[in-house]
Chain A
Amino acid sequence: MSSQDIPEENLPAEQDHAHGAVTVADEENPFADPGLPPHEHRIQDIDEQAARRSERAVALLFTLSMLATVGFIVSYVAIPHDKSIFVFPIGHISALNFALGLTLGTALFCIGAGAVHWARTLMSDVEVPAERHPIEAPAEVRAQVHADFRQGAKESALGRRKLIRNTMLGALTLVPLSGVMLLRDLGPLPGTSLRHTLWAKGKRLVNMNTNQPLRPEDVAVGSLTFAKPDGLEEKSEDFQNEIAKAALMIVRLQPGNIKDKRELDWAHEGIVAFSKICTHVGCPISLYEQQTHHVLCPCHQSTFDLSDGARVIFGPAGHALPQLRIGVDSEGYLQALGDFEEPVGPAFWERG
């Protein structure tokens, strides 16, 4: 429908001039504010048929919302919670989640779309100005408040009776200390616990995956084996805390490839054991490049050279991975020859 079809009587006599602002060019100042521009009517303001079309569109959206809510309830009842469907291009997804989400989304979105369409097409769109008032109080109010405050302060005699003021400040300063004290039992004091792990002389190295004690011949050149101390079971009460410190990675190098003398001394036939916990912020290191003997922490990419005392060759870690001194016990199993000589994991103030 074009504007020609609009019945004559529906046309406005003239465009409104908001609040009498007249837009004539100011001869003196061409940059002066010409005032609010006249309101331009929308088609719905002047054509009742267009307005009715908008009304129907809004009603349709609200009706769609109702249908979608019914759809939500039907989906909830009818679709089994373990059914999956293939939706291109997402793939196999939960049918229930898909149906509930789409119906809920439609129900909500249509309410919103209806309300916005209603506001934009049928509610008045005349822009009107509202006056602003300064946030600051007028001078006399300001003076009054200051005078009142001085009066109140004077009557309290706080400034004159210093003993009251000082003891009150003292009491108010001290009383929160009780609250601080109550926080003390949030945890034990660190003590030296960060310096010790479950490893000790004679503890066998147990393969993390097979749960079997390791023999030197189980560790091949080029492989990466994760180990835990003998006796630490997944079901143990403190498994998480202990494995967070004791996790070990074991690789076998050709003894001739080991550049660091201490590393060679602490190895057994080229088998070296290093802490798996990154010295940066404690992620478990898990990527091993067998040609270069580098290990990489997947969290922040600190890279350590296992053939050179596990020193840091790249990334944000600050020091080498601690090495565990290992040997073989009388039955031929790999065993620790003591605990780590330095704390494992991230550095801390008391580490030294």
Chain B
Amino acid sequence: MSTADNQESRARGKAPAGERVADWADGRLGIYSLAKANMRKIFPDHWSFMLGEVCLYSFIIIILTGVYLTLFFHPSMNEVEYHGSYVPLQGQLMSEAFNSTLHISFDVRGGLLVRQIHHWSALIFLAGMFVHMMRVFFTGAFRKPREINWLFGFLLFVLGMFTGFTGYSLPDDLLSGTGVRFTEGAILSMPIVGTYISYFLFGGEFPGHDFVARFYSIHILLLPGIMLGLVVGHLILVFYHKHTQFAGPGKTEKNVVGMPLLPVYMAKAGGFFFLVFGAIAVIAAIAQINPIWAMGPYRPDQVSTGAQPDWYMGFAEGLVRYMPGWEINFWGHTLVLGVFIPLVLFGVVLGAIAVYPFIESWVTGDKSEHHILDRPRNAPTRTGFGVAWITVYMVGLVGGGNDLWATHFHLSINAVTWFVRISFFVGPVVAFIATKRICLGLQRRDHEKVLHGRETGIIKRLPHGEFIEVHEPLSQEQLHTLTAHQQYAPAEIGPTVDENGVERKVKGSEKLRVKLSNAYYGEDNQIQKPTVDEYKEITSGHGHH
């Protein structure tokens, strides 16, 4: 051993304990290179960047509380007689799944709290993902290079829906059993394979003795396992791409402006986990969720009124409720369109939002990276499409609760259903047009503001008696922020004759792309932002407004 080595090890020996542990780990894991890139990583600040965090934290809370619940839950459909401490159900026959859920709720101290935290977190997880997804959509954060992360997020949303569904079906209570029956009916409607899939899923006829155990392994292992992988991938990509930011002074496509992970975001984001967990714990203390004891154990010949799925399944429920009952019988077979069309629409509506980024990038033909977020008004067609999509979703939610709308607002159920049927077609169109008009109006306002300044509300009387409102010119920061967005020119069909004078066939896809591009960026579909010359001409003029 050389002296240099000795000196080095002596120096290490004197180093603080934390440093020595870090050195040890670095020698084996190479953590220093990782830390160099990430420890002081810059994150921008904006309230809407917090929505994704809500999802991440509620996901962690769901896993923590879920593990606790597995310690007490028995995923079995064996019939037992209830002898627990909830008096009204004593002596009743019920499945072990229902029995053990009652046990968790009434006889395990804190069991009810953990159950309620678990369920509330799931509702918030899905709501958070929905809002987060909308934030990403309306600001155009899904553009290159983030399309894959958009798909990861979309998959998390869809898998989250099914994990939620399999989860709330586990207690085998009357409400969730009704939901499972609905699912079985929907599966049966699938042409050719429906009956087989149903028999393989339920181990025979509905309800059978298997679905709780099967849903259990899907709910606690299969789906969350995939989701955990997607969450990790989602976060790695967020780190790798670096966060998007809104336009503003000093913010460019080539930088990210904000504060470092250590310490600011370590404290803010770490603290935010506790805020979310704390808030959900308080909700679970004061707001009851899924009181399975009030519904009783599942029986296929019983049902309660006002049966509703958890909110995120409400849109699918709506599709099934307002679809007319079409059935076609031919050659000894039945095509159950009344149920199968909603099943397909469920996938189509969700799929539409998933593939949108690829459609938009095809229309723009833009191959560059985008890290500066759009203000929704500056992308009127995209914003219009997004609001139309939300309208379809919300119409589904209203349709899914048509009985509650009818009873709470003293309306006819038939009228509510017809309203929803019509809105499904008319609503998105109206929403699209209205949203686009509003966006264009806001763009004009920005245009006005840049050229003529801010309305101060101060009225000035000129010597000859005319009243004018004083406009205050914007600062350079504001001017930059309002004009930083990129505007596309509508695409045109290229020359149809090549250099040798030979006519080229224009492909249908190219015609469609040009049409769409004009719908996005044509003359009436975006307001040209003010140019420097326009600004100079107005400001260098004769002073007033």
Contacts and interface: CB of A to CB of B under 8 A. Distances in A.
B264 A281 contact: no
B270 to A, nearest CB: 6
A349 B202 contact: no
Interface string A236-261: 00001101110100000000000000
Interface in A292-311: 298-302
B334 interface: yes
B347 interface: no
B274 A34 contact: no
Interface string B256-290: 11111001110110111111111111101111100
B113 A115 contact: no
Contact of B259 (A87, A93, A118, A126): A126
B286 A98 contact: yes
A120 B259 CA distance: 11
Q: What is the size category of the interface that chain B forms with chain A?
A: 35 or more
B532 A30 contact: yes
B217 interface: no
B282 A101 contact: yes
B299 interface: yes
A33 B480 contact: yes
Most chain B CB inside 10 Å of its own CB: which residue of A101, A107, A116, A350? A101
Contacts, number: 360
A98 B116 CA distance: 11
B376 to A, nearest CB: 21
A48 B88 CA distance: 63
Given A111-B271, A132-B253, A94 B320 contact: no
Interface string A106-134: 11111111111011100111111111101
B271 A104 contact: no
A187 B199 contact: yes
Interface stretch (B304-312, B463-471, B503-511): B304-312
A334 interface: no
B112 A94 contact: yes
Interface in B82-105: 85, 93
Contact of A100 (B178, B285, B403): B285
B257 A127 contact: yes
Interface string B476-487: 110110011000
Interface residues of A, number: 104
Interface stretch (B132-140, B161-169, B181-189, B512-520): B181-189
Given A37-B477, A115-B267, A188 B204 contact: yes
B304 A36 contact: no
A157 interface: no
Contact of A299 (B178, B191, B260, B413): B178
B225 to A, nearest CB: 17
Nearest to B286: A90
A316 B414 contact: no
Interface in B198-255: 198-208, 210, 240-242, 249-255
B339 A100 contact: no
Given A97-B113, A129-B256, A352-B333, A241 B307 contact: no
A194 B204 CA distance: 10
Contacts of A98: 285-286
B24 interface: no
A149 B181 CA distance: 53
Given A125-B264, A282-B181, A349-B334, A135 B282 contact: no
A124 B264 contact: yes
A112 B205 contact: no
A72 B201 CA distance: 43
Given A32-B480, A126-B259, A129-B256, A316 B300 contact: no
Nearest to A115: B271
B33 interface: no
Interface in B43-94: 45, 79, 85, 93
B195 interface: yes
B109 A76 contact: yes
Interface stretch (B322-330, B387-395, B435-443, B494-502): B322-330
A115 B286 CA distance: 25
A130 B241 CA distance: 12
A124 B480 CA distance: 27
Listed residue (B194, B279, B338) with the most chain A CB atoms within 10 angstroms of its CB: B338
Interface in A21-38: 21, 23, 25-26, 29-37
7 contacts: A31-B535, A33-B480, A82-B106, A101-B285, A240-B208, A282-B184, A283-B303
Query: When A and B form their complex, which 6 residue pairs have the shortest distance between CB atoms, in order from nearest?
Result: A101-B285, A281-B185, A109-B278, A115-B271, A112-B274, A36-B250
